[in-house]
Structures are given as structure tokens and as C-alpha cells.
Structure 1
Amino acid sequence: MGGDLRLIGRWLRTHLQRSGIAALVLAVVLPSAVFAHGGEDHGAPAAAPVPVVTEQSGFGAEGTAFQVALYPTDGKSVLYLADADTNAPVGGATIDAEASDWQGQAKPTSEPGIYELAWTTPEAGADMTLIVSAAGKDDLILVQATGRKGGIQPIAAKAEGSNWKAFGVAGGAGAVLLIGGLALIRRNHKAAAAMLALGLLGLAEPVRAHGGEDHGDAPATQKPQVQPGAPIAMSKPTQFLLGIRTIKVEPQQAADTVRVVGRVIADPSGYARLQPSQPARVVFDPAHPIPVPGQVVKRGQVLAVLEPTLSTLEKGDKRATLSRVDGEIAITERELARQETLGGLVPAKQVETTRIRLDQLRKERGQITGTALGRELLTAPVDGIITDVHVVPGEVVISDRVLVEVVDPSLLRVEAVIHDIGVSRRISGATAASKLVPDQSFPLKLLGVSPKIDMIDQGVHAIFQVAAEQAGHLSIGMPMDVYLETGATSVRTAVPRDAIAEVGGRRAVFVRTAPETFEVRPVKVARTIGPLAEIVEGINPGDRVVTQGIEQLKAGR
């Protein structure tokens, strides 16, 4: 570094007489290069960031039926009223408030559960008594408003003033160097050069190498995670916005259930299969077109037209029989006409016998032509919807062939397969569910349990009736999960299964411990009984467990 300064001094002595002022300016400017650095923007200063204020907590209090959170504002207070057990906003309430120096009634707002008071807490704090009446329940709540609660301001960023101090020192030194240099140029060129060299040496920043620090990007801030036992604060306005709901833990009577597989079948009173009475050919008739699946039909409606298929010998025999019957009909008709012409000469009994004989012959002829040689009309025996059609015009069908199926969609059943004979004898009720119909259950009525074991699935079959108003959501053949109720059991601490969350690799529930405070409690689940989970460790009767909004609390929001 000393050699560099000697070269600079020699050059300055040579050129100082011609460019002394330029050298002085260079001496002032060069020190600024010592502070060159990265990671900062030296353009126009950015606008100051708006400070983020966290949500404000209110004065919370709780009674036997309701809970409140009081938020003082300018000249008034906002009161949030919620149910103590469900945490749901309570609207349409009558709230009489009384403080040491004020009394009045809360005024409801347009939002349910939010009220206004024409009062605000004094600086010294005050106690307020609330008498709440809503939904047929009355409650007395004491609110301790001790001072004003405010939002939490963010910590300001640490100011980096060390560089600016260095710039200030450098600027001052440069100014002194400039003024002194101008004076010396006029008197002594050598002194000016020496002064410039000393100025450069003093303002140069030494380079220091060191270790143990990372000058890369700052690590990203980790997302806060809830911890078991740690309180979680959430203001009442946020709870109302997110729809946080709770349930009070109480002893309950739950039904022991057993899950079995089943499927939807048709009710015989609303199901029909149409088959021909004899071998025949399907005939296309414009007056009676073949139906399509999904078509609504009425009882007695023609669904297919068939023409019997007979061999040559059978047709000859039937035609001979028909010719004989036609001949007898002609003879009997003429005989009846002659007897009626003679009037009283022929006994009335004989005339009546001839008339009966003629009717018998005509019916015989109709039977021959309508079955053996005539067309057969297949009609719907019940009202319903066509589910399957297995024929096309011109096709020859036999008597055991199912041509059309009709079902009444309001009459359906569920067939369950039970592999435990003991369970099949203790069924007191049942419900069914299917993944094809999510978020819906179907109450079932037990019709009967078969006394024999099926040879194919090695189980006992139980038949259940589906309610007519819910049968429209199901289809024949749909797989079902059937939950059989086999008795009742008493559960001391039970919560809905959906209330249990996974926190830190453990099962836990969120318990509301105050109007605006929640707590994560690890739990031990003994068993699940239908939609309930029995808890043997972690909660007690009377606790309010969160059932809705669990993900928001789990994320610590």
C-alpha cells in the first residue's frame, strides 16, 4: 500500500501545478468508494411502511348461559354476545347494562350477536353488570373492564446508522482537506501533495477478512405452530367471522354400532319384470313403441307387442280348430235366429240354451285367436320408471326371458349381510351411508332377518326399509355401509369424531377456556361409537370443545 501512495505523490508533484483543483476534488471523492456495498437501494427513498396492528382483545366474561366480549371505542363500546356452550352469536337479546356511573340498554346492530353501548370504560377502569335475556334463558354476567386494551404494534426495524456516521466523518474530513489544500496550493506545491497523500491514507478503510458469519439471504421466518397446553388467543370478531363453534362435554347415551356391508334392492310391491307367456317374436307397432330406460310408465300401459311363434303342425292344428269353431258359431247363430222368429212356438228354455252355446263358441274363438294365433300385449303391472329394456324388434324370445323391468323409486330396501349370528339377534335399529351420496345418512327400518346362512357369502341376510322421502337419492344395486345398533351404552366424556385433530403427531382437541382463549389438549381415545369418540384422558365434563373452525385454530390464525 506504501508503494501505491509514493506513486500517487510523484504523479501529483508533476501535475499539481496544472490540475491542483482536480486532485483535491479527487481526494474528496475517493473516500466514498470505501463505503461501496450491496443490498441497498440508493434511489429515491421509499414510503414508510404502514405498521400492522394485530387484532385487539376485549374485556371477556362468561355466565352460565352466555359469554360476552366488550370492546371500548371512541365514546361507546361494542358488545359481542355468544352462547356459552355452542359459541354461536346470539341475536335478538335484551341486555341491561349497569356501571358505577352509568346504566342503559344495549342496542342491537345489523349483525347477529353484536350490540352497542353508549358508554366507554374510564381510564381507571370499571366493573359492569349485564343482565341478558335471549332464547328463553336469563343470565347475569359481571365484566371487569380494568383499563383500555389496545392492539399490539410491530417492533420497528433496527436502524443502521453506522454507515451514515462514517459518511459524515468522511464528508467533514473531505471538506477540511479541500479548504486546506486550496490554501497550500498557492504557497507550497510539495506540502499540498503531502497533505493529499495523508488524506487518502487516513480515509482508506482497511479490509478485514473474518469467518463465522453467513452473508447470504436471511432465513425465512418459520410459520408459528400451536403447542399442546399453550393458550391460543382469538378475538370474538374473528371467531364470529370464522364460524368457530363448540360443544359442551356431557355424559351421553350412545348406541353400540356394528358396521356391515349391504346394497340397495327393490321393494317387491314396487318392482316388476315382464316376461312372455310363450315363445314369440317382438313386433314393432307404432301405436306401442318399445320404451327406453328412465321412461315413466303407468300401470296397464303397453310396453311390448309379441307375436307367437308356432311350428307348421301347430299352426295347422290351431287353424283347423278355429275353422271348426267358426262353423259351429255360424250354425248356432242361424238356429238362434230361427227360434226367435218362431216366437211362442219354441220353448223359452231352448232359446236360452242356444244363446248360451253361442256365447261359449265366441269366447273359444277369441281365446284361440288371442293366444295361439293373435298378438300378445305386455303391459306394466305397476306405476314406476323403466330401469332395463332387453328387447329389439324382430327378436325371438322365450318364456323365461325378462324383457322389461319397472321399478317404483319411492319403494326401496337395503339388504345387509351379517356374519355374526349374535349381532343379527340384537338389532334394534340401523342407519346406512354410501360414498356415492356423501354427507348423508339414511335411517332404516328392520323388516326381517333370514334364519339361514347364505351358501355364497356365508352370512345372514337382513332386510331394511328405506324411508320413501329419502329413497329418491338411492339406486338399485348401490353399495351401502350399514351401521347396526345393537344396544345402548353410557359414555361419560364423548366428543364428535370430527373434533379430534392431529397436533404434533398426537391426537388433540381444542378447548375454549375463556371467551377469547383456546387451549390445545392431547387426548386419549378409548373407542369410537358411531359418530362419537369416548375420551378417557385430556378433557372433563363441562369443557367446551371446538367442533368447527379446527383448521384455523390449528394453524394458529
Structure 2
Amino acid sequence: MRRLPISLNFRPRLLVTAGLLALALGACDRTRDAAGAEQEALVYTHSTPQAELFVEFDPLVTGAKSTFAAHFTRLSDYKPVTAATVDVILSGGGAPTERFRVAAPRAPGIFAPTVMPRATGRRTLSIVIAAPGLQSRHDLGEVVVHADAAAALQAGPAPGATEGEIGFLKEQQWTTDFAIEAVQPRELRESVIAPATIRASADGAAEIVATAAGTLRASGRFPALGDRVARGQTLAMLVPRLGTGTDVASLQAEFATARSQATLATADAERMQRLFAQQAVSHRRLQEARSAQRVAQAQLRAAQQRVSQLGGGSGGIALKAPVGGTLALVPVANGAAVEEGDVLFHIVDRRELWLQAHVSEADAARLEQPDGAAFELPGLDAPVEIRAGDNGRLIGVGSMIDPESRSVPVIFALSKPDPRIALNQNVQARVFTGRARTALSVPVGAVIDDSGQRVVYVMRGGESFSRVPVRLGLRDGNRFEVLEGLKAGDRVVSRGAMQVRLAAATPEAMGHGHAH
């Protein structure tokens, strides 16, 4: 199992002073020389895939107690471990293995095992935590167990130790939305930025318009905005205005006339058939009678179909939904007077929406094979991403530059869209070009705009951070490519960067002291 690098710092006892230790742990032995001088604390930060350990303790002296302040953070949610058994293990150096255990924390996330080594010399230090759903071993490398306090003081600080200039305590990290991420190479997709519009699919929307001037009548409950309707469902009745030639009386009269003419034409055709059989009329006369019969029957069917559209007590023309979906627009009400051509209902099938992006001609050549798009909307926690073959598909890429907008249309279909996405909404979209490259990256939330300069905060130790300016490259969803400023293995604040910035700007606002 790959481990993240260990950060080892020696620093003055600013965080493990006697007063603070006495407050949380009770009195413990201090590492002093004969003149009473204090030795600096040892500080380690170490992570495994499951947990992060930040520990402080006095240099180890044979036969002397050193109380560890071991902070354990569960990396699944970056919260303190509240129940566990912690073992401090000293091994190697030609001496028997020594184990020191504590079965419960002194405070949430803070464990205080007391170590009193029996063997002097170079030992290997490990700290193991066992909790429900968590088993994590932290091998911290070699430490020296000194023969006495004078030897520990004489050893001095470790060479090359580094420390961040911003302090942000574990207790503060645990009570905020906070997380750390190790910078590693990732595959990032190239993209271009383009204005875009959310619209209905080509066959997923329909408008019902008035075919004649008249009055709307409900055929039941009058439809309302947001109602689901089925294909072929009658939404309302349009009662044409009298005097237009399409009123109810005229339609009924046309039907009666057509029925009478069809009856007469059928009788005449039958009579001609009998006379032709007796060679009393010519074959041409028989054909003329049959043709007249067919015309009369067609006129009857048309009149019958028009009359069949009448319904309700007052009659009318049924307005039926040509597609199933949701009513996105209902600008009329029951009893409203409408004119020919007025839009009465707008139906949208929201099972699939289209994102139509307009890629500028300067970026059009970069569209190798677009495989997705992403856009942000106010009110949504994360960008909406369309992934071809997953929750969407590519409809098409234009092959001609629009002469007015100087752009190329790129259309993606989004399946099962969030109901909060509104039609005809203008958004800023990222169209993924189909190309990708491997590079270092950080979450978008890790980057702070500090007076026009992009910066991130890097953890140098468990409670110390540095402000690092970065130069960014492409953006893939919620990640930025990092071109300069970071290296693989750097641990950046992925959530809570603004809190660290506040701690740097106003340390007094973030609190003082350490609850060990």
C-alpha cells in the first residue's frame, strides 16, 4: 500500500506548553537539561488512505515519560476519530519491541498515550489506530531514545525542517467543511468555453394554436401550467365564432347535405348498374355514376370527421395534445376569447433536453470529436455535466460558420435533466473537445482569487499551511490544471481554503491555543 510522505518538523514549544498540556492531559515530565532548559517538541504529520495522524511529543529519554498528543482524522469525511484504541510502538535497534496503549481519546480526535522507553538508541516509531471501520498504521521512521535530558537537548533540531507560516488548528479544521487532497497526475479533458441555450429537443415540443377565432371551453378540468399530458389527450374545446363559416350550425348542415348527396349518388350508381346489365346504357354512363358516388362518399366522410370533432354541450373543435409531456406555457384560461393563430398551449417532453452551444470560429478547429459538455446554474451545488454515452449524446456539430454570430453550433442531448433546469435559459458552457492529457490538477474549490492572483493553501504540517501562488491551465469539470506552483504529493486544502485564508489574515478571528 502506497503511503503519503511524512512531514517531520522540530519547532518551539508554542503548541505543547506546560499550561496547555496540563489543561487537557494533566502534568507530564518535561525534557530539560540540568540548567532547566526545555527541548523542542517533535512534530509528525502522516497519512494513509484511511486516516491522517498529526502528533506532537517531547524527545524520548530512557526512563522518562513523554505524553503524545496524537490527533487522528478520518479522511472519509475529515472529522475526528471519536472512539478507538491507539498503540505507540518502538521497535528495532537490537532491543525488544515496546508497546504503549491508550483505549480512548482525551477529547474527540485527540489521543494521549504516555511513552516511557526502556531501551536507549535508535528505534523505529509506529503509531497504530484501530476503530470501527478504521484500521490504520502510521510508520514514522527512526527516532532516537536519548540516555538523558542533556543528551536530548544537545541533539538539537532536525536539519532541513520546514513549517508553514499559517496556523490552523485541528480543532478548527474539524468544525468546518474542510478537506485535504494530495496533488497527483490525472487525465484532464480539453474544453472550449461557449455561450449556450437550454432548449427542448426537436421532436420533444409542440405548440397548439387556435385554427379559428372563437372561445375556449374546458372539457373537464382546464389544464394548468406544469400539468403532465398524454399524447392524444383533449386539453380543451375551441368553439368557433358564429359567422366565420365554421360555426356548429354550419358544420351540421354540411354533414346533412353530404349525407343526402351520398345517398342519392349511391342509388343512381346502383340504377346505372342494372341498366347496363340490360344493355340500356353505355359503359361510360355507368362509370360516370360510380365516380359521382365516390366523390359524394368522400365529401360525407370529411363532413362526418368535422362533426365528430364537436364535443361538450356547446360543441366545439377538440384541441388534442400531439405529444406527451409537461405544459410549459398556458397563456389562456377557460372561457377566453382567442383569435386564429393564437398560441394556446406549449407542451415539452422534459425526458430529454438539448444544450445548444455556439463555439466561436476561433475555437471551432479544436473540436476534434466533442464527447461532452458542462454548465453551471445558480442554485445548483455542482456543474451539470453531459457525458456522451452516459447521461447524454452528441446530436451534431455544425459545419458552417454562422455569418452573424461567427460561431459553430454544437448540440448535446441531456437525459433525465434536473427539474430546476429551465427552458430557453442562457448558460456559459464548456464543450469538451475529445482531446485529453495527463497533468497535475486541483479542485476548483481549492483555488482562491487573492487580489487577482490565483493561490492555493498547502499543508506543511498537520496544523501549518503555506500560501502558494499557482498558474492554471485548462478546466475539466470541477478541476483546474496546475501548470506552475505545485508538485506531485503536495497536500492542498480542497475544501475550507477560505477559512485558512481568514486564519492568515486575522489570526485572532480563528482563536488561540491548542486543546491538548
Change (3 A) 1:265 1:53: same
Residue 43 (structure 2) pairs with residue 60 (structure 1): yes
The normalised TM-score by structure 2 is 0.62
Q: Is the Cα contact below 8 Å between 2:457 and 2:497 reproduced in 1?
A: yes
Question: 2:415 is matched by which residue type in structure 1?
Answer: A
TM-score (norm 1): 0.58
**Comparing 246-255 and 434-443, the one that deviates more:** 434-443
Secondary structure of 1:239's partner?
helix
Q: How many angstroms does 1:266 deviate by?
A: 0.9
Task: Look up the match of 2:415.
Answer: 467
Please say if 1:251 is aligned against 2:185: yes
- Higher deviation after alignment, 448-457 or 427-436: 448-457
| Equivalent residues in 2 for 1:405-416, closer than 5 Å | 405-416=346-357
| Residue 298 (1) aligns with residue 234 (2) | no
SS of 1:306's equivalent in the other structure is strand
Structure 1 residues 297 and 241: CA distance shift in structure 2, 3 A? same
Q: 2:88 corresponds to which residue?
A: 97
Please state which structure has a larger fraction of its residues in helix. Answer: 1
Q: Cα distance 1:64–1:230, how it changes in 2: closer, same or farther (>3 A)? A: closer
Q: 5+ residue gaps in structure 2?
A: 1-17, 25-39, 59-64, 91-95, 147-161, 268-289, 388-392, 508-516
Is residue 2:307 matched to residue 1:369? yes
Q: Deviations over 1:459-514 (max 9, x none)?
A: 2222111130x331201111122101124444544333433346688544322222
Question: Which protein has the larger Cα radius of gyration, Structure 1 or Structure 2?
Answer: 1
Aligned partner of residue 539 in structure 1, secondary structure: coil
Structure 1 unpaired stretches of 5+? 1-50, 148-227, 335-352
Check 1:326–1:86 CA distance in 2 against 1; reply closer, same or farther (3 A cut): closer
State the one-letter code of the partner of 1:529. R
CA distances 1:171-226 after superposition (whole Å, capped 9, x unpaired): xxxxxxxxxxxxxxxxxxxxxxxxxxxxxxxxxxxxxxxxxxxxxxxxxxxxxxxx
Query: Letter of the aligned partner of 1:457 in structure 2?
Result: S
Instruction: Give the equivalent residue in structure 2 for 1:69.
Output: 54
1:167 is matched with none
Instruction: Give the RMSD, CA atoms, in angstroms.
Output: 4.9
Instruction: Return the alpha-carbon distance in structure 2 between the equivalents of residues 413 and 112 of structure 1.
Output: 50
Cα displacement (A) at 1:98? 2.5
Which one-letter code corresponds to 2:44 in the other structure? A
Report what 2:330 is aligned to.
389
Is 1:130 equivalent to 2:127 in the alignment? Answer: yes
Where do residues 485-524 of structure 1 align in structure 2 (5 Å cutoff)? 485-490=432-437, 492-501=439-448, 507-521=454-468, 523-524=469-470
Cα drift, residue 262 of structure 1: 0.7
Give the CA deviation at 1:294. Answer: 2.4
| Counterpart mapping for 1:243-322 below 5 A | 243-276=177-210, 278-285=211-218, 287-309=219-241, 311=243, 321-322=254-255
> Deviations for 1:73-96, whole angstroms, at most 9, x for unmatched residues?
999755322479997656787754
- For residues 494-539 of structure 1, the C-alpha deviation after alignment (integer angstroms, 9 at most, x for no partner) is 3334333466885443222223332333x34153434444444443
Match in the other structure for 1:428: 371
| Equivalent in the alignment of 2:383 | 440
CA distance in 1 between counterparts of 2:216 and 2:106 reads: 70
Amino acid at match of 1:97: V
Preserved CA contact (<8 Å) 2:53 2:138? no
User: Which residue in the other structure is 2:513 paired with?
Assistant: none
Contact 2:105–2:112 at 8 Å: present in 1 too?
A: yes
| Equivalent position of 1:30 in the other structure | none
Q: Retained in 2: the 8 A contact 1:256–1:487?
A: yes
Q: 1:529–1:442: structure 2 CA closer, same or farther, 3 Å change rule?
A: closer
Percent identity reads 20
Cα deviation, 1:248-290, whole Å, max 9, x if unaligned, reads: 12222211111101111112443221134x42412434x4354
Aligned equivalents of 1:450 and 1:417: distance in 2? 9
| Structure 2 residue matching 1:473: 3-state secondary structure | coil
